[in-house]
């Protein structure tokens, strides 16, 4: 205890008398804050997304002000590593927010995304994968990131997992040609199909949020744990989240949101298709209750 007090006294005398953050800070980085529009509600209680701004109401003396680093998709402080080097700051997230906010329709948003160079994944990808389907259909599906086939074609869910997804949608009278709209959290394929890093997701999330606003869906379906973690900010496993109705705020209304299992996971674990089937039946019933348009084969 005595040694601890001595250490604290030494730090105070040296001028280190205020905690700035829980993680190391790149003091050359520009201040970037990511406001979160999410309000997630479960069946019995409301969960508010973390405030991405963070910080304290108290302003330290000018000599001790440190620029806060960008924050990842879960609101944690992180340093964005860019091709320009550790010592140079590129406000990729701020640029993404400005570009996304300026888009007034889906065509403008796609053009802004294709022009955006703030995410390193774009430099290793073949195509920018924006979306596929009919936005006016009322049902929006959000996956994780493009795979090899998606990167080659430039559309989401066109490989084996996409073929299974089409069959799943057909079971509840949904079709990307008539009344379903599909996109991903990440718009460029991560090398070797690895999970996207938090800073990569944070650079793409402003576009996804604007994408949801412009598509204005009646129901959102999240495909897999990665999509659920980045869209609603809940890190519970997909097995805990699936089958549970949440809500996503779009403007002044709350959109029903259903997390379910990713088709690629179901290809590896076909015994769990029955769980996804239950989730889809819940979506079908929600569509009926909301009066959303359904396909010709709807029962």
pLDDT in tens, 129-159: 999 999 987 999 999 999 999 999 999 999 9
For range 36-56, the mean pLDDT: 38
pLDDT score for 284? 96
Question: Considering only CA atoms, which of 156, 132, 158, 133 is closest in space to residue 146?
Answer: 156
Bridge partners of residue 77, in order along the sequence = 71
Beta strands in the chain (DSSP E): 39-41, 46-48, 132-133, 139-143, 180-184, 219-223, 246-250, 253-260
Q: What is the band of 12 on the pLDDT scale with cuts at 50, 70, 90?
A: low
Question: Considering only CA atoms, which of 209, 191, 193 is closest in space to residue 109?
Answer: 209
Cα–Cα dist 16/242, whole Å: 46
Q: Pick 138 or 71 by higher pLDDT.
A: 138
First to last CA, the chain: 72
- Put simply, whether the predicted model's pTM sits higher than 0.95 gets the answer no
Asked if residue 241 has pLDDT above 60, the reply is: yes
pLDDT score for 28? 53
Least confident of 12-26, 101-115, 162-176, 237-251: 12-26
Q: Pick 276 or 76 by higher pLDDT.
A: 276
pLDDT in tens, 164-203: 999 999 999 999 999 999 999 999 999 999 988 989 999 9
């Amino acid at each position: 205890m005595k040694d601890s007090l001595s250490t604290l006294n030494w730090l105070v005398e040296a001028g280190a008398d205020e905690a700035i953050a829980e993680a190391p800070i790149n003091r050359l980085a520009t201040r970037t804050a990511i406001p979160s529009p999410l309000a997630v509600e479960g069946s019995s209680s409301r969960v508010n997304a973390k405030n991405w701004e963070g910080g304290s109401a108290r302003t330290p003396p000018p000599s001790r002000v440190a620029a806060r680093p960008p924050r990842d998709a879960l609101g944690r402080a992180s340093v964005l590593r860019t091709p320009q080097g550790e010592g140079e700051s590129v406000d990729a997230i701020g640029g993404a927010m400005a570009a996304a906010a300026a888009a007034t329709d889906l065509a403008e948003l796609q053009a802004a995304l294709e022009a955006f160079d703030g995410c390193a994944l774009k430099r290793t990808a073949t195509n920018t994968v924006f979306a596929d389907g009919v936005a006016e259909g009322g049902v929006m599906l959000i996956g994780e990131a493009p795979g090899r086939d998606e990167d080659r074609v430039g559309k989401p869910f066109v490989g084996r997992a996409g073929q299974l997804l089409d069959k799943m949608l057909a079971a509840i009278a949904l079709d990307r040609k008539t009344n379903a709209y599909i996109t991903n959290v990440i718009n460029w394929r991560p090398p070797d199909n690895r999970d996207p890093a938090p800073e990569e997701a944070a650079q793409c999330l402003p576009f996804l949020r604007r994408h949801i606003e412009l598509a204005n869906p009646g129901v959102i379906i999240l495909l897999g744990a990665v999509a659920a973690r980045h869209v609603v900010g809940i890190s519970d496993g997909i097995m805990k989240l699936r089958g549970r109705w949440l809500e996503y705020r779009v403007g002044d209304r709350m959109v029903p949101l259903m997390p379910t299992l990713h088709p690629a996971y179901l290809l590896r674990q076909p015994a769990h298709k029955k769980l996804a089937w239950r989730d889809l039946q819940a979506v079908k019933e929600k569509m009926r209750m909301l009066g959303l348009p359904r396909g010709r084969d709807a029962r």
